[in-house]
Amino acid sequence: MNKISFENWKNTMSFMIDDDFDSNFLFSIEPLATYINANCNYFSDSTALAKFLTEEDDFSPLEKLRAFVSLIGLSEERLKRVVSLLRYRYNQEDFKTEWDVKRISKTIQDDRDFRHLLIEFFIKGRESSIGAEIPLYYMRNFKLTDPDFIEDLSDYKYVERILNDSEIQGKYSNEVGAHIERIIQTRLDKYQANFNKSLQYEMQKEFPLLNKNIDFLIPNVKNPIILIESSYNITTGSGQSKRADQLVEFYGVLMRYNANHRANKIIMINYCDGFGWVGRQNDLHRIYDASDFVFNQKTLNVLDEVLNEYYPHQ
């Protein structure tokens, strides 16, 4: 079979359209928004806010922290900068990498002094120890002592809109990525049921040759014939170049392996979709060149054709 052209692949890039998936995702925000409505009256009290950010109840402390920074307009990225300032200026730490939000949440739970400084910042803004060194723009929605703002947080539609427009968007991208894997898995299951009942595959298994978890290994990690990696991007970013670098490196390893194991050749297929890839065509082209075959949601038939040619029928 022939590999589809780069132009054809690029021109079939699209948003992931699945109304049931989107409806279920939007509905999943409802419990968190309702929880915020019920607890927002305590946000101006440092002790109550500390309890909110540290205790596990209907939601984990991490989930609540992510929602909270969205509500006050800080964002997760800015929270990381603030925490880096805290670590450098107040804890005199010598470090080269920032903490992710999961690490920040854990430290809020475990470190009383760290927690005190951050909560003082959240409530008092510029009047706090940290706030004196933070731009006012970052703190324009630090209004936890404003009754009108708390009243807004009691409004379900207000909170739902903020969660949808900010922190939850990152979660949506992650969920779409997982849904893409389910689309591929469903296609494999359909192929198995209709064309080749002997088809086997494994998901998210570490492949020693590449020293990485591979999305799909057909038939298995011990005797791979086909590897499938998937990527979906709504927006553009430097992570796409890193992804391309990684896949180019993997393909080079596979090429060297295949040159020495001609009877056990391993095929690399890459699934890329989303208009974020159209905006990074140089990186997309590098992935195309580092693939034996490529496909996306609109060209799922390519997967069937690869299986017809390269996977043994019994």
pLDDT in tens, 182-234: 999 999 999 999 999 999 999 999 999 999 999 999 999 999 999 999 998 87
Is residue 25 pLDDT above 80, yes or no? no
- Other C-beta atoms closer than 10 Å to the C-beta of 80 total 16
∠ CA 168-173-176, nearest 5°, is: 120
Q: What pLDDT does 312 receive?
A: 87
- What is this structure's pTM? 0.67
C-alpha distance from residue 217 to each of 108, 251, 295 (Å): 40, 15, 16
Mean pLDDT of the chain: 91
Q: Which of 183, 200, 155, 132 is nearest to 40 (CA)?
A: 155
pLDDT band (50, 70, 90) for residue 238? confident
Quote the tokens at residue 245: 């670098």
Q: How confident is the model at residue 94 (pLDDT cuts 50, 70, 90)?
A: confident
Does residue 168 carry a pLDDT above 60? no
Lowest mean pLDDT among 69-73, 248-252, 284-288: 69-73
Q: Name the band, by pLDDT with cuts 50, 70 and 90, for residue 177.
A: confident
Cβ atoms of 84 and 98 within 8 Å: the answer is yes
Cα–Cα nearest to 267, from 211, 219, 204, 314: 219
Amino acid, single-letter form, for residue 32:
L
Mean pLDDT of 17-39: 84
Structure confidence at residue 170 (pLDDT) = 57
Residue 291: how many CB atoms within 10 A of its CB? 22
CB 72 within 8 A of CB 141: yes
Q: What is the share, in percent, of the chain residues with pLDDT greater than 90?
A: 74
Omega before 219 within 30 of 0, i.e. cis: yes
Predicted confidence at residue 40, as pLDDT, reads 95
Contact 229, 267 (CB under 8 A): no
Residue 66 above 60 pLDDT?
A: yes
Boundaries of every domain in the chain: 6-16+176-310, 19-169
In 3D, which of 238, 183, 243, 217 has the Cα closest to residue 14? 183
Burial of 97 (0-12, 13-18, 19+ CB in 10 A): exposed
**Average pLDDT of the residues in 284-305:** 96
Residue 26 has pLDDT above 80, yes or no: no
Which tens digit of pLDDT belongs to each residue from 128-147?
999 999 999 999 989 999 99
Reported as a single tens digit per residue, the pLDDT across 70-82 is 999 888 889 999 9
Q: Stretch 262-285: mean pLDDT, rounded?
A: 92
Q: What's the mean pLDDT in 231-256?
A: 91
Query: Residue 48 in contact with residue 307, Cβ under 8 Å?
Result: no
pLDDT for residue 260 is more than 80: yes
pLDDT score for 307: 97
Beta pairing partners, 214: 205
Phi, psi for residue 214 in degrees, rounded to 5: -105, 140
Q: Which pLDDT band holds residue 49 (cuts at 50, 70, 90)? A: very high
- Domain covering 6-16+176-310 in this structure, CATH number: 3.40.1350
